Amino acid sequence: MAEEIAQIASSSSAVLRPVSNASRVTALQNIHEYLRAGKGKILEANKADMEAAEKANVAAPLIKRLDLSKGDKFDTMLQGVLDVASLPDPLGNVTFANRLDDGLDLYRVTCPIGVLLVIFESRPEVIANITALAIKSGNAVILKGGKESFHSFAAISGLVREALEGTEIPPGAVQLIESRQEVSELLKQDKYIDLVVPRGSNELVRSIKSNTKIPVLGHADGLCSVYVHCDADVDMAARIVVDSKTNYVAACNAAESLLLQRSALQSHLPTLAKALIDAGVSLKVTPEISESLKQADVEGTASATIGSAEDKDFETEFLSLTIAVAAVEGVEEAIKHINSHSSKHTDSIVTASKEIADKFLNGVDSSGVFWNASTRFSDGFRYGFGTEVGISTSKIHARGPVGLEGLTCYQYQLRGTGQVVADYVGAGGKKEFKHENIDI
């Protein structure tokens, strides 16, 4: 069964590859309209998932990720489809051109990767996001959602299938699977599947990586930090730290650690700690931080406590209103601490000094490194990518929020007029290569 699914995706990929951008855009517009019209059906299914998750005592952060009814989450999902549709065509773009000789021109041209296998956990809007990115980038996709979002998954996927009927997108270009057994078998289909994208827990990503020969693009934990230098504007630092932690605690780009320069403990720590406590955040602090807070008469509350930090807390993705706090001597120690403890996702510095900021930006080995800005900006939509298939902490192919560009690769197209290599090399080779750049 899994091999058949992979084969269908592969053959559909070949059909999808030459489909025009206009036809791909039409398909995405159809998906947007079907999802908009089916909002009631989707939210009813989502409610069933929420009730089941609560009965099963699923962790609160996962339930929050599951909920499509809160705020503008549903409308943002719909807008993401249109945003992707309106982006420039990522395919057929010439990124390098060289004239090897008269009548012999070489071009590097962007093209689809082929077949994507995307595995995610509780966020049902991911179906629409990734379907949009896959179709726009000319890739076939096989989607596997988490059991927590089963009803939402079924409702959205059914509407997507209906929306694609009558378009130029082949039916097998978007397939949806339900069982873990199918995933295990699909991970063996390296003949047909070109890239696996796991979105979820550290355990999920590591399990995928250890059970497939197919290239894997994804991130594990989102261990993000904010470092506050002694010259930082304290009010700016407080806003950035609180937003990074509390804007959406269940997100992978939420801050989990706060580092302060030791010389800023007296001037900055009380304000930052009070701002976090007022926002309902519990602090896990080192003995040095604890002593400074006592001297400043800063106390926790019943809901926002101050407790002792263990080493493991600086490598923990809390996904809740909790943050680990420590002091460092300066920017060099902050860089060392982050590179040793982070997941290479997103880290931020708050400072008035460009020199210090540049040292941090160039020294921290993460996919996103910010100066005087919240870690929550690390997002494909906020970057202008329309949406994202995930955030990659890998260092090859794609890094950071992965949008359309990260779902394309390239091929070399050589356009000649009958040339053969023997004319240029070997005993009979008389011609020389020109290797002249062609304006593109």
- The total domain count for the chain is 2
Work out the pLDDT band at 220, boundaries 50, 70, 90: low
Mean per-residue pLDDT over the chain, rounded: 92
Do 192 and 279 lie in a common domain?
A: no
Q: What's the pLDDT at 145?
A: 84
Summarize pLDDT for 85-123 with one digit per residue, the tens. 999 999 999 999 999 999 999 999 999 999 999 998 778
- We report the CATH number of the domain holding residue 52 as 3.40.605.10
Q: What's the pLDDT at 42?
A: 97
With respect to residue 339, please indicate whether it lies within any of the assigned structural domains. yes
Question: What is the rounded average pLDDT of the residues 155-172?
Answer: 92
Q: What's the pLDDT at 171?
A: 84
Question: What is the rounded average pLDDT of the residues 207-216?
Answer: 92
- Between CA 164 and CA 132 the distance in angstroms is 12
Do 94 and 209 lie in a common domain?
A: yes
Do 160 and 69 lie in a common domain?
A: yes
Do 215 and 241 lie in a common domain?
A: no
Q: What's the pLDDT at 393?
A: 81
With respect to residue 429, please indicate whether it lies within any of the assigned structural domains. no
Work out the pLDDT band at 411, boundaries 50, 70, 90: very high
Do 202 and 235 lie in a common domain?
A: no
Do 23 and 119 lie in a common domain?
A: yes
Do 109 and 32 lie in a common domain?
A: yes
With respect to residue 417, please indicate whether it lies within any of the assigned structural domains. no
With respect to residue 6, please indicate whether it lies within any of the assigned structural domains. yes
pLDDT at 434 over 80: yes
Phi-psi region of 127 (alpha: psi -120 to 50; beta: other; left: phi over 0): alpha
Q: Please, what sign has the CA dihedral across residues 356, 361, 363, 365? A: positive
Do 257 and 128 lie in a common domain?
A: no
- Between CA 176 and CA 154 the distance in angstroms is 9
Q: Please, what sign has the CA dihedral across residues 334, 337, 338, 339? A: positive
Select the more confidently predicted residue: 203 or 104: 104
Q: What's the pLDDT at 235?
A: 97
Work out the pLDDT band at 219, boundaries 50, 70, 90: low
Question: What is the rounded average pLDDT of the residues 30-50?
Answer: 96
Summarize pLDDT for 280-316 with one digit per residue, the tens. 999 999 999 999 999 999 999 999 999 999 999 999 9
Summarize pLDDT for 351-410 with one digit per residue, the tens. 999 999 999 999 999 999 999 999 999 998 899 887 788 788 877 778 888 889 999 999
With respect to residue 421, please indicate whether it lies within any of the assigned structural domains. no
Question: Which range among 61-65, 146-150, 241-245 shows the weakest confidence by mean pLDDT?
Answer: 61-65
Select the more confidently predicted residue: 175 or 203: 175
Do 332 and 365 lie in a common domain?
A: yes
Do 34 and 110 lie in a common domain?
A: yes
With respect to residue 418, please indicate whether it lies within any of the assigned structural domains. no
Q: What's the pLDDT at 120?
A: 81
- We report the CATH number of the domain holding residue 336 as 3.40.309.10
Do 229 and 308 lie in a common domain?
A: yes
Q: What's the pLDDT at 91?
A: 96
Work out the pLDDT band at 65, boundaries 50, 70, 90: confident
Work out the pLDDT band at 203, boundaries 50, 70, 90: confident
With respect to residue 15, please indicate whether it lies within any of the assigned structural domains. yes
Question: What is the rounded average pLDDT of the residues 325-352?
Answer: 96
Distances (CA, A) of 46 to 17, 53, 256: 34, 10, 29
Q: Please, what sign has the CA dihedral across residues 278, 279, 280, 282? A: negative
CA within 13 Å, CB half, 251: 20
Q: What's the pLDDT at 256?
A: 98
- Between CA 259 and CA 218 the distance in angstroms is 26
Are the beta carbons of 207 and 384 closer than 8 angstroms?
Answer: no
- Between CA 235 and CA 158 the distance in angstroms is 49
- Predicted TM-score of the model (pTM): 0.82
Do 109 and 244 lie in a common domain?
A: no
Kindly tell me the number of DSSP H helices and DSSP E strands found in the chain: 15, 17
Expressed as residue numbers, the domain containing 115 is 2-219+389-409
With respect to residue 133, please indicate whether it lies within any of the assigned structural domains. yes
Question: Which range among 185-189, 337-341, 392-396 shows the weakest confidence by mean pLDDT?
Answer: 392-396
- Return the SS3 of 369: strand
